[in-house]
């Protein structure tokens, strides 16, 4: 099927420059094997577009920093690819289509049209669910759940929303999805651990809906296995032998065990102590998205 590219969102006057420089750069830049030198072909790619725009969009290439230093009168917007693109001789149609889609999304993120660390989120799109999430995330739930969240985040007074938010913020600062927006970071962490497709443009509400649907599907699909005594022991004891889930180590499954385990038990403390920061953040997010 065809790939739909919303190219109209690239700022006016830069579409041709973007495509032309990108194609020329792809052909020319890698011919030069020295990242500290600019040869005649590098100059050719630059000169093809330099008179048309003071801002030049380029992918991350071998000589892009050297070129930007030499031609400092121009502003170079360097698009960082967010995924390894693979070798040209190993591509299939589907992998090429995905690379094109990811490349466009990375470009829109470079222009600050889209936000996010791992995902591509249009913060100007529908956000009523997102506003609800920001308002109610980390507020007091029940005494039992509050105690569990407090121990998970290593905080004491869970009656104050700012305390739980601070605990989540400390965790997110040590994850790969860290950014300046704690709510967005939390949602991206949760989505990533649920393996939600990232090569899409999301509104904040759409990403929340994907998280809710995915987590519910995982719980329903693994419902019988979650209740199995042997799986409960394996999941919560920290043993090397994994339980027999369809979706092993899913935050949705771990959330169920987190909510069901006795808060003052040794097995509960062992269970949460074995978790990585990303898993803890995702569990807290799912509690508010699915339970609250």
Range 194-220 average pLDDT? 95
Residue 175, Cα to own-chain centre: how many angstroms?
11
What are the angstrom distances between the C-alpha of 176 and each of 63, 284, 288? 27, 17, 22
pLDDT of residue 230: 81
What are the angstrom distances between the C-alpha of 21 and each of 10, 29, 102, 177, 209? 14, 11, 18, 31, 38
Contact 234, 242 (CB under 8 A): yes
Residue 21, Cα to own-chain centre: how many angstroms?
28
Calpha distance 16→136 (Å, rounded)? 45
pLDDT-above-70 percentage for the chain: 73
Contact 178, 98 (CB under 8 A): no
Which residue intervals of the chain are DSSP H helices?
A: 15-28, 40-50, 64-70, 93-110, 128-136, 143-153, 161-172, 182-193, 204-221, 223-227, 229-237, 251-260, 266-273, 277-286
Calpha distance 188→267 (Å, rounded)? 29
More confident residue, 192 or 53: 192
Max avg pLDDT among 17-21, 60-64, 214-218, 267-271: 214-218
Tell me the pLDDT tens digit for each residue of 22-68: 544 444 444 444 445 555 556 666 676 666 666 777 776 656 667 77
pLDDT of residue 182: 93
Average pLDDT of the chain to the nearest whole number:
79
Contact 192, 278 (CB under 8 A): yes
More confident residue, 87 or 259: 259
The two three-digit tokens of residue 67, written as one number: 């070129």
Contact 164, 214 (CB under 8 A): no
Residue 41, Cα to own-chain centre: how many angstroms?
36
What length is written for the chain?
292
Contact 272, 170 (CB under 8 A): no
112 pLDDT higher than 50: yes
pLDDT of residue 1: 37
* pLDDT band per the 50, 70, 90 thresholds, residue 187: very high
pLDDT of residue 185: 95
Calpha distance 277→285 (Å, rounded)? 12
Q: Which of the 8 DSSP states describes residue 9?
A: G
pLDDT of residue 30: 43
More confident residue, 225 or 135: 135
Helix, strand, or coil (residue 141): coil
Calpha distance 58→106 (Å, rounded)? 11
């Amino acid at each position: 099927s065809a790939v739909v590219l919303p190219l109209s969102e690239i700022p006016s006057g830069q579409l041709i420059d973007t495509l032309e420089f990108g194609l020329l750069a792809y052909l020319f830049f890698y011919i030069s094997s020295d990242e500290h030198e600019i040869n005649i072909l590098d100059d050719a790619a630059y000169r093809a577009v330099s008179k048309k725009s003071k801002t030049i969009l380029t992918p991350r290439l071998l000589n892009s920093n050297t070129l930007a230093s030499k031609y400092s009168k121009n502003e170079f917007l360097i698009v960082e690819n967010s995924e390894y693109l693979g070798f040209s001789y190993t591509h299939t149609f589907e992998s090429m289509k995905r690379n094109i889609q990811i490349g466009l999304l990375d470009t829109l993120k470079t222009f600050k049209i889209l936000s996010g660390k791992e995902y591509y989120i249009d913060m100007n799109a529908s956000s009523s669910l997102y506003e609800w999430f920001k308002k109610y995330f980390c507020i007091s739930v029940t005494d039992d759940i509050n105690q569990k969240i407090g121990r998970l985040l290593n905080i004491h007074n869970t009656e104050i929303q700012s305390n739980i938010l601070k605990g989540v913020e400390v965790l997110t600062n040590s994850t790969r999805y860290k950014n300046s927006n704690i709510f967005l970071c939390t949602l991206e962490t949760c989505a990533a651990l649920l393996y939600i497709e990232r090569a899409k443009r999301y509104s904040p509400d759409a990403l929340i809906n994907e998280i809710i649907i995915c987590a519910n599907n995982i719980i329903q699909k693994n419902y019988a296995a979650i209740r199995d005594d042997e799986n409960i022991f394996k999941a919560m004891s920290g043993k090397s032998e994994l339980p027999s889930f369809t979706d092993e180590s899913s935050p949705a499954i771990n959330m169920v065990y987190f909510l069901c385990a006795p808060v003052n038990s040794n097995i509960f403390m062992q269970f949460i102590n074995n978790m990585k920061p990303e898993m803890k953040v995702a569990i807290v997010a799912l509690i508010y998205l699915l339970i609250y």
